[in-house]
Every structure is written in C-alpha cells, then in structure tokens.
Homo-oligomer: A and B are copies of this chain.
Amino acid sequence: MHYPNGKKQSVNAASTSVNETIYSNRGMTLEADINATNQFYLQTNQAIIHKKPTPVQIVRVDYPRRSAAVIKEAYFKQASTTDYNGIYKGRYIDFEAKETKNKTSFPFHNIHEHQIDHMKQVVEHGAICFILIRFSLYQKTYFYPAERLFDHWENQFNGGRKSISIKTIEKEGYIIPIQYQARVDYLKIIEQYYI
C-alpha cells in the first residue's frame, strides 16, 4: 500500500488553524482553504461538513508507561470514499478536492476508480456530489458536478482523453471566487444550482 498522490501535506490535516486574520491566500493549499471554509460554515451554523481522517493501516502500537499509546508502524491506505461529506439544509453533501499543477487540463490520475464508484452511488441516492478542482498555477478553483465527471471518466475507456480540459471545466463547472471568510465558498454554488 502506498500513499495516494504522494501528497505529504495532507498528512498534516489537523494542523490547519482557523481564524487567521492577517492572511494571504498565496501558498495556501486547497485542503487548508476548504478546512477553513468548513470551519466557517460550522461556526455560522450554515452547514456541517467535515474532512474524513486519512485512512491508516495500523500495524504496531506501543503503550509506554504513564503516556499515550504510540503508533510505531502504520501505512497509508487508499480511501474508499471521497474526503469530505456532511449535511446542508437537510441534503447529503459529498465531495472530493483535487489540486493540479497542470496548465491545460485536469488529469484523471488524480482520481481513483473506487472514488468514482462511491460518487456514483451517492448520486444515485440523491446526494449533492462534486469535486473541487484547483489549478494551482492560476490559483483558480472550480466546482465541478460529479454527474459531468462520470461521462468524461467513462469516455477514457472508449478511446477518449484521460483528462478534462480547463475549457470544458469552465463550461460545465462553476468558478469559485476566493474570499476572505469562506475561502472556497462552495455552498453559494450549491445554493444557486441545487437547492
């Protein structure tokens, strides 16, 4: 088992701090922005959305005297679902967040097949499901509906391209303006197009 995408920064999931006053968005990861956004939604009682913990296969745990248990050997596992879910106005919300350095398109190797399967399942049961895609070079973040993703995903197995062009994402998705409090204000898109 290996860690998906080799993205070391998501290991420090717990380290995202809220309420940073003097702040610049430059250099912030998408994950940090989403965590701050979810925290803001929670504090303002708009929606209850959490990131799931990184799945870890624990192999060995030490129990030193008088102190907390220490995990001494563990491995990253592939997630079987998306990273974020929760509830907004009674609706089940489910999404994945992906950042890419690619200049022209969002490559599918960023997504695992079982994540697509999961997204299809929840959509079938009535979820509001999407991915948040950030093109880090341009610092542009898009809300991209899962339903659109499925078609492009399937096409790759029928000779189609193994990515979605920015143009297509711009056409089929919604850009999310970076803001101060809700840095990635995806609820606004949901409110406008789903509710």
Contact = CB atoms under 8 A, between A and B. Distances in A.
A58 B68 contact: no
A55 B74 CA distance: 13
A52 interface: yes
Nearest to A82: B50
Contacts of A127: 48, 87, 90
Nearest to A88: B125
A8 B59 CA distance: 12
Interface residues of A, number: 49
A80 B50 CA distance: 9
Interface string A81-93: 1000111111110
A149 interface: no
Contacts of A86: 85, 92, 122
Copies in the assembly, this chain: 2
A127 B13 CA distance: 26
B11 A125 contact: no
B69 A75 contact: yes
Interface in A29-55: 42, 45, 47-48, 50, 52-55
A61 interface: yes
A87 B54 contact: no
A68 B69 CA distance: 23
A71 interface: yes
Contact of A71 (B2, B75, B80): B75
A140 interface: no
Given A68-B75, A87-B94, 20 more contacts: A2-B69, A11-B61, A14-B57, A14-B77, A42-B121, A48-B125, A52-B52, A53-B53, A54-B56, A54-B58, A56-B58, A68-B76, A71-B71, A71-B76, A72-B72, A74-B74, A85-B85, A85-B86, A89-B126, A91-B92
